[in-house]
Structure 1
């Protein structure tokens, strides 16, 4: 049972009680039943009516609401405070703090998570340092949208395609947790769609304009009734970019809905289509970063390099309740990607199609007086990749950009991924709970070599070692609102398709999955009458068969296993809610991570790097800020971010400088006659115009006497603003 304090326009107070998603509001003599998500009533203005009276109510959640949120991403749902793992919650309020151009900006504020933000389409994410040595994309981290994978089977993820307007909440499970989700050594990101928040039919339009030709338009429709909740949205985002050869344009259409046919079953559907055209300025050397950061890398500018793709995602999920303690959830899904990417060194054409299914059975029993919950299930995933490369003849056609020449390689991979999992939760008492789990994974693929111009035919069947991933965790409630936990978990990540192929298109058959074990202890608790919520986590991850990218040419890499790494760190979170004055609430917060990541055993080309710091990860990350909410509808957000020094390469021969950013945003909500609601908003990013590198390419190497191109410069000071209009029919 969750309890949330409320403020009423006439200064009376009441209580909202929540149980099973039902919120009962009592103000004076007026009882009302409402439906909201656990995070859905931040600064929510409601008009409560009956025949006798009308009251306007503003709802503000206490810090207690965060600790008592029931996590949806764990295989067995449990409250955040009762979960023996570090799970970061990204709420609707967190999303509102930024300019809404890219969801990774918000995710980058979670403790233990770091995102290299090279451009709107060039983002790579690491969790606790895992995935930091990836060159241009996010891998070792899995992501799901409403339990439908948006990652490839090996754990390569693109979050840029998911528009913030469709997301209500995200849950980030940090560290190896393959006992639940399979190949995700760094962790798992689960996104949950925004529902229609009121009964009836709504239509809204939102327009954002900003520096560097930024323009974003969103058109959204939603309908909710007793058995149906449906949301559809179209988004268009474009920008000229801060840098040369940095134009960006993305269109996406998303539909999400749920239909309850009876008390026993609920059908959910998700469909999304994305079309992207984004030019690539690429990375710069140190001198150019300092003196001409808006320029593009010369070869990328001359080739007018870009990436374009059409991408689709479709899934159905059905939950059936056999009884109060026994239910099944089954999902089927399909996605595709058709991509074309001219680079200075070649032109890459990729086609990918994936299908799969995931099912799990959950039931609870009383076992000799011990409350027990059990879940068992499986996930099957099949992917087809067709990759081909061609000569890029841009130098033969000056000023015309990339021109395709002869074929260089053509390969087809058919990957099969099987994941079987189980989890048991035991409540030995109200104070002590134990959680155990296990996962069995096997991944195999078939390669068809379609390039007949060389004498090497690498067609054949290949497979990675079958991996067993156990997990165990325990929670002890030291008091009603405070708990400590400890856990140990195993994780793995298989090599990506890009890592299994050399630049010449030949298969790299010597690679093994990267594996790791996470040891963790932590504390979660409320203070000061539940106005203050804190979390502290201490962890140690040992990674073996480290997959590294060895640079063999300009922007060309091959993957290989090399040594071990140790990831030791401390993460901290603090949220504090209090009233400044009548009708004004403040919420300061701090998220921080202090990282001690280094190579345990690592020798490369005869050079021993053991004991060196891991490149691509800041030594510390601190996000601090505050939110102001007022009864009249004026809201203000300030976000300060500090990133510490970051090694550039395995030898630690250089470091990316630390930097500090301050972003501000304000909004005003206004109800208009006739059922219209409007919001005006605006803000400024990087208010002090800090010059910094927002992303680095670890272990960059200079060729032809040129300096290494480590850096993607971050945007200078920039502005944005816009308006939203919503109508309730």
Structure 2
């Protein structure tokens, strides 16, 4: 009898063991807070979701086993779960889509986005996925306060809060870095359109004067970060895409990650016939980056990038051609078959070392070059540029007045050697042959020197209230050597600007859980380009001053509805003095002068909402925009008073509405509606572009061909409404020889694209 009772008890125990529920708790890896609503699925499909305490249960009979855990705003985790008598904790890492918790890397002292007392926007992988990936600058138009004039794949101008809008053909007054390596030249010119988003992890944009961190950047700063392999694995990928206008793109990628090193390499080739005549485009780009842990307290990162470009230039059109023949090229550019071509390289390395537990240093060295050839109707331009420099930054965690504090300080220096020459273009003497090199017209060498000294201190008055203050001291100088002796003008001379001191102070306060208000005041400046310092007779204008401005800003950043809704609102006022004006005195000649003051007042807003529709399907609607009140405060040029006029080249407002749909099954959909207000064409506000709306769609599906090989099929349509619009304007265009001013760059009509991507993991 006793044996029978014992056997029965054993059976009951074993049965209870197999039916036992094992409990797990899901936590945020950064905040250790419980994650509610996480979806847990196994080999057979959906299993359960976590409750308000982040807890879920699985029967012992289903363990051990491989499970997939996903939650809104977190990276998907694949994990092997086992039986246990105690509660098991599982940590999920927030993705870059959980905006408020993202650690902003481009500030001197890294801090989560919500707590940064500045207007910072992130461009993440989702933003990249919304576009056709032919031009990374397209993603900037989804950032409130930014607007990109897109004349062609290689003709783009970025402005941030209206600063840089009056530039003629390129971006200026904005600083940019790629993994800490300067991309902006020493005189403030910037080209970003030949970087491929396939090799980027994300982009951080700090809007408004950032001179206290980066020196001469009155409009703001753009920081590009190369793609970083995540898991310890090796991966190969290939992608091919075809679209309208015979646009083709091929991408090849490889990566390998171990516990102590990571290596990522990508090669891309983009070609297109273009919508307009004389619009052929061919760009090849290669990038290699990686990290290496050299010791317990040190790590090395490196980056190498090379781009070869040949892009023909259709140029701008007058109003009649813009309305009736938008596919044509400007007559002279078409006759000369004008284009730009260059080889561009970038090489750099950074070493980070923890000197003590609370004291670290990061030092970067870099070298870049550009060798360019550009036939234009009025002449042929040859350029060679080589830049080299170093940047070092120290970070110290300490206490000031018994308050937890962090101090950052350092310096940056780079030297730039630049050689330029122009030649006659004899295309008129050789009909239908395009540009033909003639006699030399000029030959100049420049030696540019640029140095920054910077410091910042962060004070934590309490868990809710923090303040940061910093400054930058900049010195800029250059020497110009005129090597052309066949004319009577000698431009040789030295030129330098007085040191510029740029302070900044900002504060952030948490008024509720996940909700912060902030305010800041910052100073910024931009130095004139060499071309702007030359007078009409070729002399150096030693009276020209840097353009300076002060930015006043206040705003709110906050989470709502259990972190499903994120909102931002910023109100700002930038007051600029010694406005630098590029006054056109010839077909390819501009003279700079300090002509007055501008006022940049505006409101920017951003809202993202994320929710789950059943297991594994997330819908993310968003809306963002900016309302601009940019005008000349005081501006008199050639005896004409433009005071009170609106700033040309900037839309009155921008608005984006969109939705992203993603599912664990592999389906994804992106829809975006953009509305852009009228844009003044010139300082006199004598004409405006029409407001326009663009509707873009993209859909894709990813599935496993077999366990380690996945396939992504996708396709999309741009400008689905087939809107006729001006994608860019040439501000203050002047007609020569009795011709009408060529102010307009037509945007592409409705166009389509589709592609396939293979990824193999081994």
Q: TM-score range by the shorter chain?
A: over 0.9
SS in 1 for 2:600: strand
SS in 2 for 1:548: strand
- Deviations 1:662-708, CA, capped at 9 Å, x for gaps: 10000101112151011011000000000000000000011222111
Once residues 266 and 737 of structure 2 are traced to their aligned partners in structure 1, the CA distance between those partners, rounded to angstroms, is 49
- The residue that corresponds to 1:48 in the other structure is 79
Once residues 91 and 671 of structure 2 are traced to their aligned partners in structure 1, the CA distance between those partners, rounded to angstroms, is 22
Q: CA deviation at 1:655?
A: 0.5
For the Cα contact (< 8 Å) 1:25–1:33, is it kept in 2?
A: no
Once residues 388 and 540 of structure 2 are traced to their aligned partners in structure 1, the CA distance between those partners, rounded to angstroms, is 24
Once residues 466 and 402 of structure 2 are traced to their aligned partners in structure 1, the CA distance between those partners, rounded to angstroms, is 14
Structure 1 residue aligned with 2:426, among 383, 393, 409?
393
SS in 2 for 1:81: helix
Q: CA deviation at 1:186?
A: 0.2
SS in 1 for 2:189: coil
- The residue that corresponds to 1:98 in the other structure is 131
Aligned: 1:311 with 2:344: yes
For the Cα contact (< 8 Å) 1:64–1:530, is it kept in 2?
A: no
Once residues 271 and 73 of structure 1 are traced to their aligned partners in structure 2, the CA distance between those partners, rounded to angstroms, is 20
Structure 2 residue aligned with 1:13, among 23, 37, 49?
49
For the Cα contact (< 8 Å) 1:349–1:387, is it kept in 2?
A: yes
Structure 2 residue aligned with 1:121, among 137, 154, 162?
154
Once residues 455 and 660 of structure 1 are traced to their aligned partners in structure 2, the CA distance between those partners, rounded to angstroms, is 53
- Deviations 1:194-239, CA, capped at 9 Å, x for gaps: 1113212111001111000110000000000111111001110000
Q: CA deviation at 1:16?
A: 14
For the Cα contact (< 8 Å) 1:663–1:685, is it kept in 2?
A: yes
Once residues 502 and 277 of structure 1 are traced to their aligned partners in structure 2, the CA distance between those partners, rounded to angstroms, is 32
Q: CA deviation at 1:540?
A: 0.3
Structure 1 residue aligned with 2:586, among 534, 553, 576?
553
SS in 2 for 1:108: helix
Once residues 32 and 466 of structure 1 are traced to their aligned partners in structure 2, the CA distance between those partners, rounded to angstroms, is 65
SS in 2 for 1:374: strand
Aligned: 1:664 with 2:664: no
Q: CA deviation at 1:31?
A: 11
SS in 2 for 1:611: coil
Once residues 33 and 645 of structure 1 are traced to their aligned partners in structure 2, the CA distance between those partners, rounded to angstroms, is 56
For the Cα contact (< 8 Å) 1:409–1:504, is it kept in 2?
A: no
Once residues 346 and 594 of structure 2 are traced to their aligned partners in structure 1, the CA distance between those partners, rounded to angstroms, is 32
- The residue that corresponds to 1:713 in the other structure is 746
Structure 2 residue aligned with 1:472, among 505, 520, 532?
505
- The residue that corresponds to 1:620 in the other structure is 653
Q: How does 1:294-693 map to 2 (within 5 A)?
A: 294-501=327-534, 506-693=539-726
For the Cα contact (< 8 Å) 2:64–2:82, is it kept in 1?
A: no
SS in 1 for 2:377: coil
Q: CA deviation at 1:193?
A: 1.1
Once residues 424 and 363 of structure 1 are traced to their aligned partners in structure 2, the CA distance between those partners, rounded to angstroms, is 9
Once residues 531 and 257 of structure 2 are traced to their aligned partners in structure 1, the CA distance between those partners, rounded to angstroms, is 44
Once residues 385 and 136 of structure 1 are traced to their aligned partners in structure 2, the CA distance between those partners, rounded to angstroms, is 19
- The residue that corresponds to 2:25 in the other structure is none
Once residues 541 and 697 of structure 1 are traced to their aligned partners in structure 2, the CA distance between those partners, rounded to angstroms, is 24
- The residue that corresponds to 1:81 in the other structure is 114
Gaps of 5+ in 2: 1-29, 85-89
- The residue that corresponds to 2:301 in the other structure is 268
For the Cα contact (< 8 Å) 1:25–1:32, is it kept in 2?
A: no
Greater mean deviation of Cα atoms: 212-221 or 554-563: 554-563
Q: Return closer, same or farther for 1:445/1:40 CA change in 2, 3 Å cut-off.
A: farther
Q: CA deviation at 1:167?
A: 0.6
Q: CA deviation at 1:496?
A: 2.0
Q: How does 1:188-207 map to 2 (within 5 A)?
A: 188-207=221-240
Q: Return closer, same or farther for 1:172/1:204 CA change in 2, 3 Å cut-off.
A: same
For the Cα contact (< 8 Å) 2:281–2:312, is it kept in 1?
A: yes
Once residues 457 and 31 of structure 1 are traced to their aligned partners in structure 2, the CA distance between those partners, rounded to angstroms, is 82
Larger radius of gyration: 2
Q: CA deviation at 1:64?
A: 8.5
Structure 1 residue aligned with 2:265, among 226, 229, 232?
232
- Deviations 1:307-344, CA, capped at 9 Å, x for gaps: 00000000000100123321000000010000011111
Once residues 600 and 487 of structure 1 are traced to their aligned partners in structure 2, the CA distance between those partners, rounded to angstroms, is 22
- The residue that corresponds to 2:320 in the other structure is 287
Aligned: 1:158 with 2:191: yes
Q: Return closer, same or farther for 1:385/1:125 CA change in 2, 3 Å cut-off.
A: same
Q: How does 1:167-186 map to 2 (within 5 A)?
A: 167-186=200-219
Once residues 32 and 179 of structure 1 are traced to their aligned partners in structure 2, the CA distance between those partners, rounded to angstroms, is 53
Aligned: 1:246 with 2:279: yes
Q: Return closer, same or farther for 1:701/1:143 CA change in 2, 3 Å cut-off.
A: same
Greater mean deviation of Cα atoms: 579-588 or 135-144: 579-588
SS in 2 for 1:212: helix
Q: CA deviation at 1:459?
A: 1.8
How many residue pairs get matched?
717
SS in 2 for 1:12: strand
Q: CA deviation at 1:610?
A: 0.3
Once residues 167 and 209 of structure 2 are traced to their aligned partners in structure 1, the CA distance between those partners, rounded to angstroms, is 17
- Deviations 1:256-294, CA, capped at 9 Å, x for gaps: 100112220110000000000000000001110110000
Gaps of 5+ in 1: 18-23
Greater mean deviation of Cα atoms: 193-202 or 6-15: 6-15
Greater mean deviation of Cα atoms: 451-460 or 595-604: 451-460
Q: CA deviation at 1:484?
A: 0.6
Q: Return closer, same or farther for 1:696/1:26 CA change in 2, 3 Å cut-off.
A: farther
SS in 1 for 2:147: strand
- The residue that corresponds to 2:143 in the other structure is 110
Once residues 138 and 46 of structure 1 are traced to their aligned partners in structure 2, the CA distance between those partners, rounded to angstroms, is 41
- The residue that corresponds to 2:24 in the other structure is none
Q: Return closer, same or farther for 1:124/1:494 CA change in 2, 3 Å cut-off.
A: same
For the Cα contact (< 8 Å) 1:411–1:505, is it kept in 2?
A: no
Once residues 499 and 31 of structure 1 are traced to their aligned partners in structure 2, the CA distance between those partners, rounded to angstroms, is 71
For the Cα contact (< 8 Å) 1:41–1:59, is it kept in 2?
A: no
For the Cα contact (< 8 Å) 1:330–1:358, is it kept in 2?
A: yes
Q: Return closer, same or farther for 1:191/1:142 CA change in 2, 3 Å cut-off.
A: same
Q: Provide the TM-score with structure 2 as the length reference.
A: 0.90
Q: Return closer, same or farther for 1:27/1:367 CA change in 2, 3 Å cut-off.
A: farther
For the Cα contact (< 8 Å) 1:63–1:533, is it kept in 2?
A: no
For the Cα contact (< 8 Å) 1:640–1:661, is it kept in 2?
A: yes
For the Cα contact (< 8 Å) 1:42–1:59, is it kept in 2?
A: no
For the Cα contact (< 8 Å) 2:352–2:363, is it kept in 1?
A: yes
Q: CA deviation at 1:505?
A: 5.8
- Deviations 1:141-183, CA, capped at 9 Å, x for gaps: 1111111111112321111121000111111000001000001
For the Cα contact (< 8 Å) 2:66–2:79, is it kept in 1?
A: no
Once residues 643 and 489 of structure 2 are traced to their aligned partners in structure 1, the CA distance between those partners, rounded to angstroms, is 37
SS in 2 for 1:301: helix
Q: Return closer, same or farther for 1:436/1:724 CA change in 2, 3 Å cut-off.
A: same
Q: CA deviation at 1:502?
A: 6.0
Once residues 380 and 190 of structure 1 are traced to their aligned partners in structure 2, the CA distance between those partners, rounded to angstroms, is 18
User: Relative contact order (alpha carbons < 8 A, sep ≥ 6): 1 or 2 greater?
Assistant: 1
Q: Provide the TM-score with structure 1 as the length reference.
A: 0.94
Q: Return closer, same or farther for 1:717/1:16 CA change in 2, 3 Å cut-off.
A: farther
